[in-house]
Amino acid sequence: MIGRLLRLSLLALCLGVFSWNTPAPLIYTPGEGWSYEPVGGGKWRKTRAKDQLDVAQEAFDKKDYGTALKAARRVVRTWPFSDYAPKAQYLVGRCYEEKKQDEKAFKAYQKLIESYPKVENYNEVLDRQFVIATRFLGGQWFKLWGVVPFFPSMDKTSEMYQKVIKNGPYSPIAPQAQMSIGTAREKQENYDLAVKAYETAADRYHDRQKVASDALYKAGLAYHKQAKEAEYDQSIAGQAIATFTDFMTLYPEDARVAEAQKIIADLRTEQARGSYIIAQFYEKKKQLDGALVYYNEVLVKDPQSKYAQLARERIEAIKAKKPQQTAQR
């Protein structure tokens, strides 16, 4: 009995100390969670949507983003179908941006577009989403639990750009978003997805010459990088050459045509080198017919290269050997 009274007394003392040290009461609001309110702090709550929005806007203008966020969210939660809800949801996104919580800001703008698709500043919201995604493209880290910077992610960045495109497929920002997906994929060295992103841009925006030409040229560059990664994979190098050839055919006046020609020449030289190495392998194995096939491929792929001259010499040498080999058999 005495022990029980002692425990109750200690509990009462702890509660008293906690209450004394707590600077404000802990308030739970459905949809908002727990928060501390200063004494008399409930004055930010209003009974009309317009008044509540005014509180949010005034707090935002004063850079009191915590109060602005609470007030704006209350408008959306309490009066979701009012004329003031879209502006309040927009303020939610703006508050998160100012608080450097870009993921939450992007989601708030997404909710605005999905819930209120006729919002007046639709294009501005798209632009803000694009700018947020571009910050992540530039290396900004995504946050764990929305608080702790955790990692950069080109997958999540690409998803953001995809949402921007879906939200405004015919908007001025959509082509840039599609091209940025290609950039994001290149940053993670996923050249296959980068090529697909650029080719999508070239096809979808073929009527916009600057976008289409940039997309086709960058698709060729991505193929080129992929070919290098694969030790000049013959098929990928061929795709790179074909893409650059299309680029030069469609946009012969483009300033990058000369660079595309140089890249094609380099790719053909590397293709020739690859065929020459394979031919040497067959020749060492004394499989002369196979060696001749690949030495001849060298002549076809780049007849002016140093490998072509070497291949001609080896072809003549093999032709001289073949009668001897046949006789021995």
Q: Per-residue pLDDT averaged across 196-203, rounded?
A: 97
Checking if the pLDDT of 5 tops 70, the result is no
Residues whose CB is less than 8 angstroms from the CB of residue 212 and which lie 6 or more positions away in sequence, other chains included: 201, 202, 205, 206, 250
Q: Per-residue pLDDT averaged across 5-9, rounded?
A: 51
Highest mean pLDDT among 15-29, 243-257, 285-299: 243-257
Residue 26: Cβ within 10 Å count: 9
3-class secondary structure per residue, 281-328: HHHHCCCHHHHHHHHHHHHHHCCCCHHHHHHHHHHHHHHHHHHHHHHH
What gap in Å lies between CA 207 and CA 202, rounded to an integer?
9
> What's residue 242's pLDDT?
94
Domain ranges in the chain are 272-329
Q: In which residue are the tokens 């997958």 written?
A: 155
- Residue 211's identity, in one-letter code, is V
What are the tens digits of pLDDT across the range 154-166?
999 999 999 999 9
For residue 311, give Cα distances in angstroms to 111, 291, 316, 319: 64, 10, 9, 12
Angle between helices 174-187 and 122-137 (to 10 degrees): 10
The burial class, CB within 10 Å (0-12 / 13-18 / 19+), for 135 is: middle
What are the tens digits of pLDDT across the range 246-283?
999 999 999 999 999 999 998 888 888 888 889 999 98
> What's residue 20's pLDDT?
39
What are the tens digits of pLDDT across the range 163-198?
999 999 999 999 999 999 999 999 999 999 999 999
pLDDT band at residue 113 using 50, 70 and 90 as cut-offs = very high
Average pLDDT of the chain to the nearest whole number: 86
The tokens for 120 are 């007046």
The tokens for 252 are 């012969």
Checking if the pLDDT of 122 tops 80, the result is yes
Q: Quick one: what percent of the chain has pLDDT higher than 70?
A: 82
Collapse the DSSP code of 27 into the 3-class scheme (helix H, G, I; strand E, B; otherwise coil) and give the result. strand
- Residue 89's identity, in one-letter code, is Q
Q: Per-residue pLDDT averaged across 194-210, rounded?
A: 96
Q: What's the pTM? A: 0.77
Q: Quick one: what percent of the chain has pLDDT higher than 90?
A: 61
What are the tens digits of pLDDT across the range 46-97?
999 999 999 999 999 999 999 999 999 999 999 999 999 999 999 999 999 9
